[in-house]
């Protein structure tokens, strides 16, 4: 499908006409907010302490340097293993302290953001920059995640079509469902 993507119009040129992915589609199909604050990574990068420190502070997860790629990415299986271990030790119940619920919630959201909504082509690394959007946790819903997901997918499609890249990243289920209805 990448060969049918036109970066100048952000549309797929198909035999029966042009098809595009819209913000309304993102909202209706996946329930992601399309209104709110912009998800802007460069702004986040300027105001946050070391990513590893943020990981340890927000999630209380200590990752060995060998399981990180540089200073800003961590292997997804280390995070999911840590999450599984945390839930095996102590399940979330009605009496669970709020701090623990928030920690587990951040872990889930971190995996969803870096591994599902904004995956990269490595297929096993998550950018620690997404942690900045999880602090404080009650501000997560103020962001326009739908527009961020759509622009990330558009960017990946444009790069792939211009550079003839085989692997694309982005929220592929959005692409599949959009094209499936045609």
Q: Which residue has the tokens 């599984």?
A: 84
Q: What is the pTM of this model?
A: 0.85
Stated as kind and residue range, the H or E segment containing 14 is: strand 11-14
Q: Which residue has the tokens 């399309």?
A: 34
> How many of the other CB atoms lie within 10 Å of CB of 148?
25
DSSP label of 112: I
Structure tokens at 85: 């271990």
pLDDT tens for the 182 residues of the chain, in order = 778 888 899 898 888 888 888 999 899 999 999 999 999 876 565 555 677 788 888 888 877 777 777 778 888 998 999 999 988 988 899 999 999 999 999 999 999 999 999 998 887 899 888 888 888 898 999 999 999 999 999 999 998 888 877 778 899 898 888 776 65
Residue of 164, 82, 68, 162 whose CA lies nearest to 122: 68
Domain borders along the chain are 1-38+144-182, 40-142
Check: CB of residue 91 under 8 Å from CB of residue 137: no
């Amino acid at each position: 499908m990448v060969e049918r993507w036109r970066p100048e119009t952000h549309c797929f040129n198909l035999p029966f006409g042009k098809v595009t992915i819209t913000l309304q589609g993102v909202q209706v199909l996946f329930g992601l907010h399309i209104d709110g604050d912009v998800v802007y990574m460069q702004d986040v990068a300027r105001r946050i302490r070391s990513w590893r420190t943020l990981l340890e502070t927000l999630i209380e997860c200590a990752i060995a340097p060998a399981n990180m790629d540089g200073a800003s990415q961590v292997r997804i299986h280390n995070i999911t293993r840590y999450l599984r271990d945390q839930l095996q030790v102590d399940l979330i119940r009605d009496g669970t302290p709020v701090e623990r619920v928030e920690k587990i919630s951040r872990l889930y959201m971190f995996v969803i953001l870096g591994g599902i909504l904004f995956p990269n082509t490595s297929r096993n690394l998550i950018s620690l920059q997404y942690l900045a959007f999880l602090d404080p946790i009650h501000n997560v819903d103020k962001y326009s995640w739908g527009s961020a997901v759509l622009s990330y997918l558009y960017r990946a499609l444009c790069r792939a079509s211009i550079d003839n890249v085989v692997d694309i990243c982005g929220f592929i289920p959005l692409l599949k469902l959009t094209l499936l209805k045609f």
